[in-house]
């Protein structure tokens, strides 16, 4: 089959790009190996984690947060299976909605793993191998192909993932019971969000972080404030600790750590969540067939128009430079589609916000104070504490501040 544009990957970047390109008149195909469109964000990332965060927040608020409002309740019970079903139903509804958008915009959907075959006479050829491999691979051609295959949880040497006692965010979204003790390797937004879910539901949660702070990349002052609040919530933090191994045991798991100022030690627990970041998902693309080379981090180098070193092949989202954020990928998807058709696109990466959906939430946009100091840029600083805000007082939620 021949198309004007083939997009490999049906996540936020890929499906948004497909819609915009179709709106601009291109004959578009989208290739996705999973049976549901929406990518990690919709299936096992942003959306299900936010569903669990909301449910767990309501649970802990009912247990502990209403007496000051003059509301007294009896015993509050947890129905984890119902909570997980709600999360799954939300995912099913939203991924089904993406399918409907593909049909509405007359975008051809191919189910399978997309791999490059060749680039000859300005035509790129790919094959699509169905997941069950019972059907023959489909062969597609187009003058332009976009790589939008997203990312996967980054591995860590010595950590043996078995999907049972030691897993990634995917497994942590579907524990069949609340762990007695959950160890989270990594103090970034994924680890802290999912750690918050299970802490609220009754688990002991220990965060092990290699750096001496949580939330690397966010404003250090706000991260330090949040750290103090998380300790009050019941989190245990082991900072400045290098994880040198993690293995499943008969009744749980054990995490081995060491550090510059600490002796080697081990932490026994029921579950381990590995959350040390994400890595570009380029496995199986066979980029060598078209002469495309990845950088030393496995990312796809692109120019300002998102085109790779191979004419006609583009890349967006988590597989290229920049923060691995769904809304960043979506914006790039729109930009590359408009660049192809109109010859113009623009993205201000300094205006892309970052949000952590813990409680309290953290959010920022633009340069942090740390960025300005590192670049020797003079600045003025202003802070307003929520404890002085009337609305925050009426909500009974006065932790935090706004920083300009």
Confirm whether pTM is higher than 0.85: yes
Percentage, residues of the chain above pLDDT 90 = 96
Strands 166-167 and 204-209, bridge-based pairing: unpaired
For 288-303, the pLDDT digits (tens) are 999 999 999 999 999 9
| 3-state SS assignment for residue 247 | strand
Q: What angle do CA 28, 14, 192 make, to 5 degrees?
A: 170
Q: Is the pLDDT of residue 163 over 80?
A: yes
Strands 138-142 and 123-129, bridge-based pairing: antiparallel
Phi, psi of 256 (to 5 degrees): -100, 130
Looking at residues 8-19, what average pLDDT do you find?
A: 98
- pLDDT interval class at 340 (50, 70, 90): very high
Percentage, residues of the chain above pLDDT 70 = 100
Q: 3-class secondary structure for 339-389?
A: HHHHCCCCCCHHHCCEEECCCCCEEECCCCHHHHHHCCCCCCCCEEEHHHC
Q: Is the pLDDT of residue 387 over 80?
A: yes
Q: Is the pLDDT of residue 198 over 80?
A: yes
- pLDDT interval class at 354 (50, 70, 90): very high
Structure tokens at 139: 């062969």
For 55-96, the pLDDT digits (tens) are 999 999 999 889 989 999 999 999 999 999 999 999 999 999
- pLDDT interval class at 395 (50, 70, 90): very high
Q: Is the pLDDT of residue 262 over 90?
A: no
Looking at residues 384-390, what average pLDDT do you find?
A: 98
For 211-236, the pLDDT digits (tens) are 999 999 999 999 999 999 999 999 99
Q: Is the pLDDT of residue 278 over 80?
A: yes
Looking at residues 100-113, what average pLDDT do you find?
A: 98
Measured CA distances, 88 to 12, 173, 174, 214, 329 (Å): 18, 10, 10, 30, 24
pLDDT at 133: 77
The answer to whether the CB of 261 falls within 8 A of the CB of 240 is: yes
Structure tokens at 400: 């935090």
Residue count of the chain, please give it: 404
Looking at residues 327-342, what average pLDDT do you find?
A: 98
Q: How confident is the prediction for the chain on average, in pLDDT?
A: 97
pLDDT at 139: 98
Looking at residues 200-210, what average pLDDT do you find?
A: 98
Q: Is the pLDDT of residue 134 over 90?
A: no
> What does the buried/exposed string (b/e) look like for 391-401 if buried means 16 or more CB atoms within 10 Å of the residue's CB?
eeeeeeeeebb
pLDDT at 316: 98
């Amino acid at each position: 089959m021949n198309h004007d544009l083939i997009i490999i990957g049906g996540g936020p970047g890929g499906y948004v790009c497909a819609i915009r390109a179709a709106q601009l008149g291109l004959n578009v195909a989208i290739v996705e190996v999973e049976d549901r469109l929406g990518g990690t964000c919709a299936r096992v990332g942003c959306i299900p984690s936010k569903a669990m965060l909301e449910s767990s927040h309501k649970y802990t608020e009912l247990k502990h947060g209403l007496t000051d409002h003059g509301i007294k309740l009896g015993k509050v019970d947890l129905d984890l299976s119902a909570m997980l079903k709600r999360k799954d139903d939300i995912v099913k509804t939203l991924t089904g909605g993406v399918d409907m958008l593909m049909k509405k915009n007359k975008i051809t959907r191919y189910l399978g793993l997309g791999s490059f075959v060749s680039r000859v006479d300005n035509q790129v050829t790919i094959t699509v191998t169905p997941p069950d491999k019972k059907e023959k691979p489909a062969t597609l051609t187009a003058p332009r192909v976009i790589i939008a295959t997203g990312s996967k949880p980054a591995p860590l040497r010595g950590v043996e993932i078995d999907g049972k006692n030691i897993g990634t965010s995917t497994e942590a979204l579907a524990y069949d019971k609340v762990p007695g003790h959950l160890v989270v390797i990594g103090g970034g937004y994924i680890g802290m969000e999912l750690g918050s879910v299970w802490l609220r539901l009754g688990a002991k949660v220990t965060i092990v972080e290699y750096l001496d702070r949580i939330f690397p990349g966010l404003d250090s002052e706000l991260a330090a404030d949040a750290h103090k609040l998380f300790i009050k919530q019941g989190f245990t933090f082991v900072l400045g600790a290098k994880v040198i191994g993690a293995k499943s045991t008969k009744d749980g798991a054990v995490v081995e750590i060491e550090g510059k100022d600490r002796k080697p030690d081990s932490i026994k627990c029921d579950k381990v969540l590995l959350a040390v970041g994400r890595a570009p998902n380029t496995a199986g693309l066979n980029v060598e067939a078209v002469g495309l080379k990845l950088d030393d981090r496995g990312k796809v180098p692109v120019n300002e128009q998102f085109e790779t070193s191979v004419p006609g092949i583009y890349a967006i989202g988590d597989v290229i430079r920049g923060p691995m954020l769904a809304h960043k990928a979506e914006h790039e998807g729109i930009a590359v589609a408009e660049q192809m058709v109109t010859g113009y696109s623009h993205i201000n990466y300094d205006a892309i916000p970052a949000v952590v959906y813990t409680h309290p939430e953290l959010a920022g946009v633009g340069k942090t104070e740390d960025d300005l100091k590192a670049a020797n840029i003079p600045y003025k600083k202003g802070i307003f504490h929520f404890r002085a805000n009337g609305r925050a007082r009426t909500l009974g939620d006065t932790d935090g501040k706004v920083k300009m």
